[in-house]
A = this chain, B = another copy of it.
Amino acid sequence: MRADARRNYERLLAAAEELFRRDGTEASLEEVARTAGVGIGTLYRHFPNRDALLEALLREQFEGLRAAAERLTELPPEQALTELLVLFTERITQYRGLPASALAVLRTPGSALYEACHAMNDAGQRLVEHLQRAGVVRADVPARDVLALAASVAWLGEQSGDLEQRERLLRVVTDGFSARSS
């Protein structure tokens, strides 16, 4: 990549980080380009769509989450579910709108973030299935429901801005998925 192109790429990423953090995943791309001091066409050249920008910003984090989910298999099963939900919620609340974006990405296999997002989700599911076999998570519900409900609690936190509520509800949800609830 040409030096000026590389510089533009970095500037766009930094601007996107800043504006996604401020305005959420639906931040204006024109403002991202303006903030980066670059023409709007340059943004589209480097990142053909919003998803590509998200991917560049989040791939590593999702990858880390996937790895973490795999490591959690070693933990005592009683702690693993709580730990998974805490880690997942942390990441998915990075930017406002991310729970919605992640769910959308998961439903569109072609998208830029799909790989990382799907791998993470899969690892989470495998952990949950492991916990179901261990008898600590109820088995009358598919494993994929767990992260889905966690994402929806994360979404609620965005809307209400009440982080204590989010913590409480994460506990309620954990209890709801506990095997003794079924």
Contact = CB atoms under 8 A, between A and B. Distances in A.
Interface of A: 100, 103-104, 107, 138, 141-142, 145, 148-149, 151-153, 155-156, 159-160, 165, 168-169, 171-178, 181-182
A175 B169 contact: no
A100 B159 contact: yes
Count of identical protomers in the assembly: 2
Most buried by B among A149, A151, A171, A177: A149
6 contacts: A103-B160, A142-B165, A152-B152, A173-B173, A176-B177, A178-B181
Contacts of A151: 156
Majority SS at the chain A contact face: helix
A151 B181 CA distance: 21
A173 B138 CA distance: 13
Contact of A148 (B100, B104, B169): B169
Contacts of A141: 168, 171-172
